[in-house]
Amino acid sequence: MLLSTFFDSSLGEFMKGSIVVETLPGLLEYASMELKRIFGRDSEPFLNSDNMLIFETNNVTYDSVLLTLFSETTRKFYMLLGSWELKDESDLYSGPLNVNWDALLHEDLSFAVRPLVKDNELIKLIGKQVGQAIIDSYYKSKGKRLRVNLSEPDIEIYAWIRNSNLVLGLNLSGDELNDEKTILARSTLLASNWNAESSFSEIIYAGISTSALRFATNEALRSRLRYVSFINLPFVDKNLILELARKNWRINREVNVRCYEVKGRINLIKQVNPELRKIALYDIEELAECNSIFLASNLITSLEKKNEQLLWAKKIADILNRNASWKYFTILARDDVVSQINLNAIKDEKSIIFKGIRAKMVRYIR
């Protein structure tokens, strides 16, 4: 039984639906905060997952463009196509057969079904049944056969199995919209609750300060529109994409953002990260005199070795205990590193798993 579809073929455009956003495991709270900021709408966990959110949309094109321009917690995003109860194997075919694939796809675009299940035999079964349903449905409507390309498809249809239901989503982003470093940087920034009007400093560069600058000025990442897959889909509003891409989204404001870095790393960091030319860089030894209200650090990606993370976590804590200016300090670090930080402040912490490593996002307040 088809529980939900979102395409009105008589109008030839999407009127409403749901978009699923994928982030890193354990970071739903921060992805939800970002979605609220971008759209002014609430989101909720999708399929009881720890890395996916779902929110309602009145215009798939509009919201897809805004996600592309402004989201830095999103790994991928999808349009929910429907959910079907699975009573037996045949439902893997009969459910998807009812989707209006002729309105979603085009014979010039190849496709692949991506089952997100662990069992290899089930992966093959879902891919075969759902893929055949898509081909048969499109052929019945258009009289043309869609091309399957499992290695480099133009369009991907993702399939989840939850509670004896098949759920399908159309990949709108294509490849990853943001890498892990970018997602962690923006998540740490959001965890800090920085308001963009106060001074902000990053301790040991991991992309948080440059993320803060983009966040504060509402910088639109227009170059990403060239790589997302939704721009090739037949149902999107190409004129609306151009209109939104040309719009001046920038917020003109004075932003006080800086970064404190280990002295021996400053020149290398500048060379590898051209964005830092917009950020004032200081020797970390000057951190004791820093007058920023908000501070943040991500030791997981800024320092590779555990012993380095532990060393600098203790040094940072020692310096901050001698600094009277800061009020909020947010740090993302390994669990066993955080446990060694001794700060005279109230702390609020959240446990996450990153690449199998137990970590914590901790916000110290004083």
Q: What is the pLDDT of residues 167-199, one digit of tens each?
A: 999 999 999 999 999 999 999 999 999 999 999
Q: Which two tokens stand for residue 32?
A: 């939800």
Q: What distances in angstroms separate CA 33 from CA 107, 133, 144, 193, one per listed residue?
A: 38, 37, 44, 10
CA–CA separation, 23 and 188 (whole Å) = 13
CA–CA separation, 51 and 110 (whole Å) = 28
CA–CA separation, 78 and 4 (whole Å) = 15
pLDDT above 70 covers what percent of the chain? Answer: 96
CB 166 within 8 A of CB 86: yes
Question: Position 115: which residue type?
Answer: P
Q: Which two tokens stand for residue 42?
A: 């609430």
Q: Which two tokens stand for residue 114?
A: 């991506």
pLDDT of residue 16: 64
Q: Can you list the residues of the chain whose pLDDT is less than 70? A: 1-16
pLDDT of residue 11: 31
Q: Under CATH, what is the fold of the domain 17-171?
A: VC0802-like (3.30.2130)
Q: Integer distance in angstroms from the first to the last C-alpha of the chain? A: 55
CA neighbor of 130 nearest in space, from 81, 173, 78: 81
Q: Where are the domains of the chain?
A: 17-171, 180-219+251-365
CATH code for 180-219+251-365?
3.40.50.150
Domains 17-171 and 180-219+251-365 share a fold: no
Instruction: List the beta bridge partners of residue 362.
Output: 331, 349
